[in-house]
Amino acid sequence: MMLAFDETLQRVTAQQLPTRPPAPTPPSRASAVLPVRRSGILIATFAVLGALWLGLTAPAVSPVAGPTPVAPAVVQDAVPPAITRPDTVVQPPVLPAGPGAPGRRGRR
Amino acid sequence: MTSPSSSDLGQRWPRAAHRGLRLRPDDVLLTVAVGAVLAVGWPAVNMLHGAQPPALMVLLAHVTGMLAGYGVVVLVGLMSRTPALERGIGADRLSRWHSVGGRAVVVLVVLHAFAATEAWAQGRQEDLLLAAWHVLRLPWLISASLGTCALLLVAAVSIRAARRRVSYEAWHAVHLLVYVGVALGFVHQLAGPDLAGHRLLQVLWALLYTGVFGLVLEHRVVTPLRMAGRHRMRVAAVVPEGPGVVSIIVEGRDLQELHAESGQFFRWRFLTPDLWVTAHPFSLSAPPTATRLRLTVKTLGDGSTKLQSLEPGTWVLAEGPYGAMTADRRTRHNVLLFAGGVGITPMRALFETLPLAPGQDLLLLYRARNDLDVLFRDELDHLAAARGARVRYLVGDIGPLTPELLRQHVPDLPDRDVYLCASPGLSSAVRASLLQAGVRPEQLHEERFAF
């Protein structure tokens, strides 16, 4: 294993006691840095557009309306009785069936 | 080696200039806490100002739902590999935060589901089972429930007892379900009663999610691919170091642009049919050069076993560098490096490059079960001689590492920085002894190699 890092070890030995790690080397080419920024900007743009799309197309009224407790009495009072109470529903008149009934044609 | 004079004790080592943005742990925690207060405060204030005072279950359902939705996105953000977080906080601590936060979010999600169902049951005068059936039939509730199941599955395999029986690869694969779970629950959040009808809030909430997923995409997908194209890393050699331990030499070009430092690690993905799916975190075991990186791997699971037989020429994708256990964390003149077992890998690299001026002392304590387990002995002895540093091998049965024992080896322990890397059990024991011996938490820099 020493062989693989002889170069590093020799450097340490030659310099005796390095007091600082080597200074960061700037990227050799601008293109090494630019793609990161470009991809970052692209992703950030998509994130903002995506958020706008998701937020603006989201339901304005929540379909999850369950948890609010509603007392049964309130329901009865709030809804027209003619619809909810079977005994108050106005039924159409029941016409007698058979010969002579209105609307029925037959021999007299 | 010269003993430090009393005037040196307590004197601080100037920190190296920071490279890139680093977020401080306290600032990040404060920001997360402020977000949590807003996430809880909005539904609470909204409901308390309503026409009728809300029932307890309704309030609980709203608050836990909002907090769980916020918590999930924070958890994903912590694991997004964003450099400012990794440099400032460290992967190790981020992972611990993620673990604690994960438990909290799972509890919140379960509480939210229960409270919402119970509130429905109370409001509609139904029994809980019928209420659950009705709630499930609401729009987007099926997908949200499937998402919850995915999160619960991830939580189940992350429980310590289960994790011991699951390979790293399986655990990693199951963890990817988090993204599916989060996506499945997202529309339910956006259409929830706390956000629906508030356009600005809906857009901001969506921005929170798309922003964090943008960070994940940038730092976990795009950056590794870009690095692969730029540096073209390949395995140059696999060198046996000891029983079940190999060093892998990775060659590439312009590696200085990675700005890797001793003490840091990469997540390595070796592109073979068996190994490409999972990225494994391994520390650099030698200072990085412009053309070579070295990692050292011990057989611990399926993946690390297969790494032993890697062929030279195998392509490598590397994410990183990560980890904050670097030289610029140093605050004192004298330093103690403590390594346990294969935890020697980052310490070996630090032992070579930690700045050491005349009059300063660098001591490496290396704990190993037996002589065969001692790695890099020749390199460490050579470096110690070359740098005027010291290395001591604590091999075999030496009893517990008590504060007294540590003080015997290092009399000026409270006035040193301590870099610690060992297995979780040994780390915990040594950390406790170090703190008892007078080392302050800010002087202790550690990396725990557990998943």
Structure tokens that stand for A39 in this block: 């991809």
Q: Do A39 and B376 touch (CB under 8 A)?
A: no
User: Which DSSP letter does residue B79 get?
Assistant: T
Q: Alpha helix (H) ranges present in B308-376?
A: 344-353
Tell me, yes or no, if A17 comes closer than 8 A to chain B by beta carbon.
yes
Non-local (6+) Cβ contacts of B28 within 8 A are: B85, B88, B89
The residue among A101 and B8 whose pLDDT is bigger is A101
User: Which DSSP letter does residue B371 get?
Assistant: G
Rounded CA gap, B142 and B241, in Å?
53
Sheet bearing B234-242, strands edge to edge:
B234-242, B245-251, B292-298
Q: Do B135 and A66 touch (CB under 8 A)?
A: yes
The CA-based dihedral angle spanning residues B145, B146, B150, B153, taken in that order and rounded to the nearest 10 degrees: 70
Q: Name the burial class of residue B378, with classes exposed (0-12), middle (13-18) and buried (19+) by CB atoms within 10 angstroms of its CB.
A: exposed
- Closest chain B residue to A53, measured at CA: B203
Of B139, B214, B261, which is closest to A63 when you measure between CB atoms?
Answer: B139
Which conformational region is residue B429 in: left (phi greater than 0), alpha (psi within -120 to 50 degrees), or beta? alpha
Q: Do B249 and A28 touch (CB under 8 A)?
A: no
The string of DSSP codes covering B186-227 is: HHHHHTSTTTTT-HHHHHHHHHHHHHHHHHHIIIIIIHHHHH
- Closest chain B residue to A75, measured at CA: B124
pLDDT of amino acid B436: 94
Of A7, A18, A46, which is closest to B289 when you measure between CB atoms?
Answer: A7
Of B61, B190, B197, which is closest to A54 when you measure between CB atoms?
Answer: B190
Count of Cβ atoms closer than 10 Å to residue B389 Cβ: 22
What three-state secondary structure class fits B157?
Answer: helix
Alpha carbon A27 to chain centroid, angstroms = 41
The CA-based dihedral angle spanning residues A56, A61, A64, A68, taken in that order and rounded to the nearest 10 degrees: 140
Distance from CA of B202 to the nearest CA of A (A): 5
Rounded CA gap, B438 and B335, in Å?
14
Tell me, yes or no, if A9 comes closer than 8 A to chain B by beta carbon.
yes
Distance from CA of B257 to the nearest CA of A (A): 6
3-state secondary structure string, B244-295? CEEEEEEECCCHHHHCCCCCCEEEEEECCCCCCCCCEEEEECCCCCCCEEEE
Rounded CA gap, B5 and B242, in Å?
40
Q: Do A58 and B190 touch (CB under 8 A)?
A: yes
User: Which DSSP letter does residue B342 get?
Assistant: G
Q: Do A64 and B254 touch (CB under 8 A)?
A: no
Q: Do A63 and B58 touch (CB under 8 A)?
A: no
Give A72's contacts in chain B (Cβ within 8 Å). Answer: 125
Contact B214, A43 (CB under 8 A): yes
Contact B326, B263 (CB under 8 A): yes
Residue with tokens 């200072």: B287
Contact B59, B120 (CB under 8 A): no
Among the listed residues B112, B20, B75, B13, the one whose alpha carbon sits nearest the alpha carbon of residue B359: B13
**Of how many residues is chain B composed?**
451
Structure tokens that stand for B232 in this block: 């073209």
Distance from CA of A82 to the nearest CA of B (A): 23
Which H or E run includes B31?
helix B25-48
Distance from CA of B37 to the nearest CA of A (A): 22
Q: Name the burial class of residue B73, with classes exposed (0-12), middle (13-18) and buried (19+) by CB atoms within 10 angstroms of its CB.
A: buried
Residue with tokens 């977020």: B23
Q: Do B199 and A56 touch (CB under 8 A)?
A: yes
Residues 257-276 of B with CB under 8 A from A: 257, 259, 261-262
- Closest chain A residue to B242, measured at CA: A1
**What value of ipTM does the predicted structure carry?**
0.71
- Closest chain A residue to B203, measured at CA: A55
Which H or E run includes B228?
helix B223-231
pLDDT of amino acid A97: 54
**Choosing among B189, B201, B210, B329, which should be mutated to test the A contact, i.e. which has the most A CBs within 10 A?**
B210
Residues 300-339 of B with CB under 8 A from A: 327
pLDDT of amino acid B133: 93
Rounded CA gap, B171 and B355, in Å?
39
Per-residue confidence in pLDDT tens, chain B, 451 aa? 333 333 332 333 344 444 567 888 999 999 999 999 999 998 888 887 776 777 889 999 999 999 999 999 999 999 998 988 988 888 888 888 998 999 999 999 999 999 999 999 998 899 999 999 999 988 889 999 999 999 999 988 888 778 778 877 788 888 888 999 999 999 899 988 889 889 999 999 999 999 999 999 999 889 888 888 999 999 999 999 988 899 999 999 999 998 899 999 999 999 998 888 888 889 999 999 999 999 999 877 666 778 888 999 999 999 888 887 889 889 999 999 999 988 999 999 999 999 999 999 999 999 999 999 999 999 999 999 999 999 999 998 888 899 999 999 999 999 999 999 998 889 999 999 999 999 999 999 987 655 4
User: Which DSSP letter does residue B137 get?
Assistant: T
pLDDT of amino acid B18: 43
Tell me, yes or no, if A21 comes closer than 8 A to chain B by beta carbon.
yes
Q: What are phi and psi of B239, to 5 degrees?
A: -115, 125
Rounded CA gap, B6 and B111, in Å?
57
Q: Do B195 and A24 touch (CB under 8 A)?
A: no
**Choosing among B257, B328, B345, B348, which should be mutated to test the A contact, i.e. which has the most A CBs within 10 A?**
B257
Report the percent of chain A where pLDDT is more than 70.
Answer: 25
Q: Do B387 and A12 touch (CB under 8 A)?
A: yes
Longest distance between any two alpha carbons in chain A, whole Å: 133
Among the listed residues B366, B365, B362, B355, the one whose alpha carbon sits nearest the alpha carbon of residue B334: B362
* Residue A26 pLDDT greater than 50, yes or no: no
Residues 390-449 of B with CB under 8 A from A: none
Give B239's contacts in chain A (Cβ within 8 Å). Answer: 1, 4
Alpha carbon B245 to chain centroid, angstroms = 23
Q: Do B379 and A1 touch (CB under 8 A)?
A: yes
- The radius of gyration computed from the CA coordinates of chain B, to the nearest angstrom, equals 25
Non-local (6+) Cβ contacts of B10 within 8 A are: B332, B415
pLDDT of amino acid B324: 77
Among the listed residues A17, A94, A56, A3, the one whose alpha carbon sits nearest the alpha carbon of residue B355: A17
- Closest chain A residue to B356, measured at CA: A19
Tell me, yes or no, if B196 comes closer than 8 A to chain A by beta carbon.
yes
Longest distance between any two alpha carbons in chain B, whole Å: 81
Cis peptide leading into residue B403 (ω within 30°): no
For the full predicted model, state whether its pTM sits above 0.90: no
* Residue A67 pLDDT greater than 50, yes or no: no
Alpha carbon B87 to chain centroid, angstroms = 11
